[in-house]
Amino acid sequence: MVSSTSLPRGLGAAALCALSLPATANPLAYSNDTGGEVLAYGQLSPAYVSFDDGDETSGNLTDNSHSNTRVGLFIDQALQDGSELSFNFETALGAPGSSQFSQDVEPVWEWDKTRLRKFELIYTGAWGTVWVGQGSMASDGGSSSNLSGTTIASSRAVPDTAGGYFFRQSDGDLSDVKISQSHAKWDGTRRMRLRYDTPRVFGSGEGKGVSFRVAHGYDVLNEGNDSVYTDIGLFQQDSYGDFDVRAAAGYGWTETDGDVQESWSASASALYVPAGISGSVAGGELPAGGSFLYANLGWQAELVSLGKTAFSVDRYWGDDTAYDGADAGKWGIQVMQYVEDMNLQVYVAYDSYSFSDDSAVSYQDANATMAGVFWKF
């Protein structure tokens, strides 16, 4: 996957390296002697999700919403002054996402304009990077720092596994509370925007250090959304001795009909490379009400010749996320096997969800099991 958070500087080279293949061996890449590069890329992310709401169990073949099936095209041209001009197009294919299924809904394969992820021009110079078009806002990824190696199976985005399902009340009736409501997270997203990133500073090498971002944009893909979005972000990545470290923070303002809603998110992750042990924390809040905290502990090692194996456990706590007086919890365990020669990952994950509020109603715990394959090309 080519990510807007990892492209500058050296946009085309970073995209090629992301596929773990030299450009000359990659049939989807082309370069010329004038500094131009073209890369077609994509990923397939099928998964099977079984969900138990306490009374009924359902299972569906889905597209993993943690990182869905998509294709893209990246074009990069080096300029004479050392700057770069790039274009990135990326779209999901419209496969039914794991976050869309519920007890009552089985989505169909459908593509519409809301599946468009990126359609942007990117200019990178010594003074930073400017992004124009559909793509990530400045705070996108503010709560996603996680070096466990299992984020395809589970992350702070808890609803990506089974967010469309409703909790079942103890009397057997379905409630009107979805996991996507009770286990919310606040983070930036993708919009039609103008964004600026500073060059990375205070880093130990190229591509490392701290970068500040600011963006302003609109939602042009969903009908009837006239909100205006502004946000800022601070992102850091580096290595300190035997430790790899990632951290991020973001703050956003959404103006709708004169009312402004604010939100913030932050995260940090560290990996002790010799032992393969990682720890990650993330959190976020709506100052007007609602907050969450997420923690992940992971271990990865070369146990088989195929590639590394990653294990993790994670926990989520939500306070006033669905509404005032509502509390949510989640714990999970994940295992992921990397098949490095094929650029493939195979995984299984189990999540247990809980929800309560200050009413007289009680809710049954629910659980979901996800097993899938993730292949990048």
pLDDT for res 288: 86
- 51 lies in some domain: yes
Measure the CA–CA gap between 151 and 139, rounded to whole angstroms.
19
- 77 lies in some domain: no
pLDDT for res 295: 99
Half-sphere exposure of 203 (CA within 13 A, CB side): 17
- 61 lies in some domain: yes
Beta-carbon count within 10 A of 20 CB: 11
- 313 lies in some domain: yes
- Under 8 Å between Cβ of 282 and 145: yes
| Residues linked to residue 271 through DSSP beta bridges, in sequence order | 244, 278
CA nearest to 68, candidates 94, 88, 39: 94
Measure the CA–CA gap between 63 and 68, rounded to whole angstroms.
6
- Under 8 Å between Cβ of 153 and 296: no
pLDDT class of 4 with cuts at 50, 70, 90: very low
DSSP letter, residue 95:
P
- 63 lies in some domain: yes
Percent of the chain as helix, strand, coil, to the nearest 5: 5, 55, 40
pLDDT digits (tens, 9 = 90+) for 209-226: 999 999 999 999 999 999
Give the structural domain span for 209. Answer: 41-72+84-376
- Under 8 Å between Cβ of 238 and 209: yes
Measure the CA–CA gap between 332 and 325, rounded to whole angstroms.
24
How big is the chain, counted in residues? 377
pLDDT for res 228: 98
* Termini Cα distance of the chain: 8
pLDDT class of 347 with cuts at 50, 70, 90: very high
- Under 8 Å between Cβ of 316 and 156: yes
Measure the CA–CA gap between 364 and 51, rounded to whole angstroms.
13
pLDDT class of 27 with cuts at 50, 70, 90: confident
- Under 8 Å between Cβ of 62 and 97: yes
Please give the mean pLDDT across all residues of the chain: 93
pLDDT for res 22: 40
- Under 8 Å between Cβ of 183 and 353: yes
Residue the block writes with tokens 């205006």: 228
- 230 lies in some domain: yes
CA nearest to 4, candidates 137, 106, 108: 137
Number of domains in the chain: 1
pTM, 2 dp: 0.91
pLDDT digits (tens, 9 = 90+) for 112-141: 999 999 999 999 999 999 999 999 999 999
- Under 8 Å between Cβ of 50 and 369: yes
Measure the CA–CA gap between 290 and 284, rounded to whole angstroms.
9
pLDDT digits (tens, 9 = 90+) for 261-273: 999 999 999 999 9
**DSSP string for 278-290:** EEEEEEEE-TTS-
Measure the CA–CA gap between 202 and 183, rounded to whole angstroms.
35
- 32 lies in some domain: no
The enclosing domain of 89 has a CATH number of 2.40.160.10
Written as one letter, the residue type at 246 is R
pLDDT digits (tens, 9 = 90+) for 57-114: 999 999 999 999 999 999 999 998 999 999 999 999 999 999 999 999 999 999 999 9
- 184 lies in some domain: yes
pLDDT for res 300: 98
pLDDT above 70 coverage of the chain, percent? 93
pLDDT digits (tens, 9 = 90+) for 242-253: 999 999 999 999
Strands 291-304 and 277-285 turn out to be antiparallel
Measure the CA–CA gap between 364 and 310, rounded to whole angstroms.
31
pLDDT class of 156 with cuts at 50, 70, 90: very high
